Structure formats: structure tokens, C-alpha cells
């Protein structure tokens, strides 16, 4: 078996101090293999989004180790973490987080603007490739408010893919969509997992979405209760 692309060892996350301390994560141990599709499910407030945030280096754990593609993100400085995230991770959130003043094309290409080794021609090629991959090439010049919710989420997915990260974190990606559109988005994410061999970590309260995953991690009260 290959080395895990994500490994969590004894991870705790606490908020507050003293009597006001809240344990959001409790002794989390988890290994995710390259190319896996994992769904993390549980009721609201169970810690699943916090788990995603610490996996991605968006928050530091209170205790434990997190290895991301062989890199211990708990040892990396706040200054260097954004570079690691840019190389390793794509994010898809419930809110599409698109910039209203930019076109669909520009929202995606903006991810590449700070990367000096990509000239304008390379940036254009990479952006058009992912627009084509999510079937949004014909909508490239539209601004977010001219797009449907499903179309905005496709652009958000393309933005997450443009730098070809090995890991895709999805936090309630269908939460703002109707069931039919949500199903279409999930089929797209599943296809990307299959064709790109991307590791996908999906966080959701929707049991229906677990059918897309290869393994399901169930949480309650900050702890993992089962992995199947």
C-alpha cells in the first residue's frame, strides 16, 4: 500500500481556556490514501468542518501531528503555510466565494497570477483547460451574478483544479444548490477523483452524498465513531 497522502496522529483541537474550553476534536487518528474519496459525515457541530480545517492547515491543532503529502504542516510557519496549501490543496466550499467584479475566466486565472514561473500564455492555457474540463468554456466571459448556482460552483471547482493539486477538500459543496444541481456537481467531483486520481475529502451532513465515497468517516462530539 502507498504511503498515506493525509495522516493525522492523535489530533486534538480546543477553543477557549479554563472552564470555557470546548474540545472540538478529540484524539483523531486517520490515514487517507492517494486517490481515495472520503466522506466525513455527522450532525451539525460534531467537528467535521474543524477536522477539514486542521487537515488543510487553515487552523493549527492543539495537539498531535498532521502530515500532508509527507509534509508535517504542524511544523510549518504561518508565513510558509499558504505556499504549501497552494501546491497541495484545492478548496470547494458551500459558498462559491467568487469575485463579483471578475469574469469566470478571471476568477480562475487569478489563482495563477502570483506564480512567477507561469507566463501569461501558460496561465491562459491552464485556465482554458480547466474551463473545458468542467464544461464552462462558453461561459468564460460571464460574471458570477450572470451564472446559476450550479455554474458558479463549476467555476469554483475549476479554480480549485487549475494548479493541479493532489488533494481536493470539499466543505458542503452542494449546500446552496437544489438536489438536481447538487447531484450534477457531485458527479463532476466523482469524475475528477476517478480521472485525475485526486484525493477527495468531502465534509457533509447529507447522508445521500456518502454514495459517492469509497470510505465514510462518521463523527460525533469531536470524535470519530466509525470508518467504513
Classify domain 6-227 at the CATH topology level: Rossmann fold (3.40.50)
b/e 113-123 (16+ beta carbons within 10 angstroms → b): eeeeebeeeeb
Every domain of the chain and the residues it spans: 6-227
> Among 145, 220, 207, 141, which residue's Cα sits nearest to residue 174?
207
Q: For each of the chain's 228 residues, which pLDDT tens digit applies?
A: 679 999 999 999 999 988 888 999 999 999 999 999 999 999 989 999 999 999 988 899 999 999 998 889 899 888 888 888 888 899 999 999 999 999 999 999 998 887 778 888 999 999 999 999 999 999 999 999 999 999 999 999 999 999 899 999 999 999 999 999 999 999 999 999 999 999 999 999 999 999 999 999 999 999 999 999
Q: What is the pLDDT of residues 126-182, one digit of tens each?
A: 999 999 999 999 999 999 999 999 999 999 999 999 989 999 999 999 999 999 999
Residues constituting the chain: 228
pTM over 0.75, yes/no: yes
> Given CA atoms 75, 78, 82, 83 in this order, what sign does their dihedral have?
negative
CA–CA separation, 20 and 130 (whole Å):
46
Amino acid at each position: 500500500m502507498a504511503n498515506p497522502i493525509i495522516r493525522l496522529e492523535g489530533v486534538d483541537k480546543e477553543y477557549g481556556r479554563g472552564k470555557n474550553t470546548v474540545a472540538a476534536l478529540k484524539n483523531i487518528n486517520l490515514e487517507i490514501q492517494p486517490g481515495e474519496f472520503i466522506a466525513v459525515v455527522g450532525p451539525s457541530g460534531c467537528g467535521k468542518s474543524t477536522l477539514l480545517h486542521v487537515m488543510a492547515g487553515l487552523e493549527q491543532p492543539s495537539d498531535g501531528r498532521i502530515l500532508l503529502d509527507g509534509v508535517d504542516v504542524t511544523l510549518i510557519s504561518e508565513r510558509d503555510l499558504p505556499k504549501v496549501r497552494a501546491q497541495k490543496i484545492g478548496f470547494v466550499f458551500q459558498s462559491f466565494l467568487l469575485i463579483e467584479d471578475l469574469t469566470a475566466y478571471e476568477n480562475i486565472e487569478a489563482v495563477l497570477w502570483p506564480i512567477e514561473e507561469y507566463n501569461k500564455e501558460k496561465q491562459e492555457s491552464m485556465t482554458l483547460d480547466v474551463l473545458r474540463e468542467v464544461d464552462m468554456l462558453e461561459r468564460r466571459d460571464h460574471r458570477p451574478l450572470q451564472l446559476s448556482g450550479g455554474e458558479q460552483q463549476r467555476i469554483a471547482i475549476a479554480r480549485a483544479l487549475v494548479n493541479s493539486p493532489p488533494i481536493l477538500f470539499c466543505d458542503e459543496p452542494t449546500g446552496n444548490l437544489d438536489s438536481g444541481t447538487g447531484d450534477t456537481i457531485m458527479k463532476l467531483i466523482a469524475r475528477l477523483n476517478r480521472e485525475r486520481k485526486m484525493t477527495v475529502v468531502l465534509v457533509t451532513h447529507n447522508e445521500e452524498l456518502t454514495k459517492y465515497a469509497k470510505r465514510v468517516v462518521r463523527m460525533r462530539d469531536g470524535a470519530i465513531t466509525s470508518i467504513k
